[in-house]
Structure 1
Amino acid sequence: MTYDFDGCGPQVFERMAQALCAAELGPGIVVFGPGRDGGREATFDGPVAVISHGHRWSGYIVVQAKHKSHTGVPKDDADWVIKQIHGELTPWVEGSRTTPVPQYYLLITNVRLSAFPGAGGRDRIVAVLEEYREKLGFVGFHVWDGETLEAMLDGHFEVRRRYAAWVTAGDVLATLFDELKPAVADLKASIPVAAAKELLARRSARLDEAGDRRRTRSAARVGVRGHTGAVPVAEPGRSRLGSGTGEFAER
């Protein structure tokens, strides 16, 4: 399924990225809320099922999420991601950021990176991250772009369901709604019928709400009113006059 990550906004995207990290990395993930987070959306310390640079990750991981509101021009999108990387990693190089330098760096973005060899967005970003890997001593890094996130959402039902209203395209939601309409209509039509059957089964109801506990009335003569209108139910020995009039005549 194709998801609309652009329209969800940075805060929802960040939350979704954190949820996917929890699903992929495990419950030991530490999530940071809005505000100054020292360049971290989440951290994890320990072994995880992620492999890069020839080995499985095991150590201190920092996750950063970057959301671009309008995407679609591959070169501009890649340039934007590279600018975000410089803005986040340069403070560690310069020593102005006091939080620990990660052993493993995970960048999550809604930008869909071109896979064209050498000049594509993915290769350009990998080249920049390799430079920072040498400067900061990263053991490994990974980039989850828009294409990767789509595959992850397809595989994590709970996360997909939680964020479907924000990342599912409007036309897809409209199609789903249209498909549900017949089922909703059937349900609305069946409620009065089911209630009428229940009344007939019980046969008699005490009219407590009328303030007279001594009088009872045949439940079969009570009309059932739902969203579809009143459904008068004839008691045995009587028949209805007209359709939906609520009038009865002796047989």
Structure 2
Amino acid sequence: MGAAGAGGVGVVGMLAILAVGYFFGIDISPIVRELDQGQPAQDAPLSERDQEYGEFVSVVLADTEEVWAPVLPEQAGIEYADPRLVLFRGAVQSACGGASAAMGPFYCPGDQRVYLDTDFFDMMAQRMGAEGDFAAAYVIAHEVGHHVQNLTGVLSEVNGLRARMAEADANALSVLTELQADCYAGIWARHAQDRFGSLEEGDLEEAMRAAAAVGDDVIQSNAGRTPVPDSFTHGSAAQRQEWLMRGFRSGQMDQCDTFAEAGL
């Protein structure tokens, strides 16, 4: 098979990409499909940035697995099943339907996969003022928090309720779901620090900046709009920081019950 037979990236580039996916335990098939379309055939090695990105997200994902594998059985009596992480560029198909990079990272309960666009962390640093490795790690841990919610049955219950609610009520329930995932990200950070000494000076501040940057009020303000709480689906910057720190300080899932605190 010549270079043209391997599509746009050629044999060397394709083998390098597949190697990253195999050794790092990440599904990179969406990237392969994108690179395989519309480009002149050439032997293009995987870029250093892409390789570092793959290494980083695989390390964070492994860290979350090391934490949740004992924590979920101990605190919730449920066996932990590792999620799969999918890297994509531009757009991707999941069991939850099609999605574009514009919607940011997401978790799909239908296939138990976390989807991350390869350019998202650059956008966080350049446009949202949330740079740093731990800021990126917080985002991954938040999506893994949704996976934990899926395993505990929270996501299916929430989705069933939201389908029968008025928009404002459905949005409020969505906020509680997202804040709990933030709290679970905090639990991961606490146990990662206690078990592995993962946090360095300034890491927690990076995560706090990232949590603020993705607050609905901040996003709406940056878009030139007046924040409208009834339209929030993820929570305000202050709320996201509060629940992240609640999880970090306690390390306990029972301290992350956003629904009970809201009277539900």
Superposition TM-score, scaled by structure 2 size: 0.27
More helix by share: 2
More strand by share: 1
| Larger of the two Rg values belongs to structure | 1
Superposition TM-score, scaled by structure 1 size: 0.28
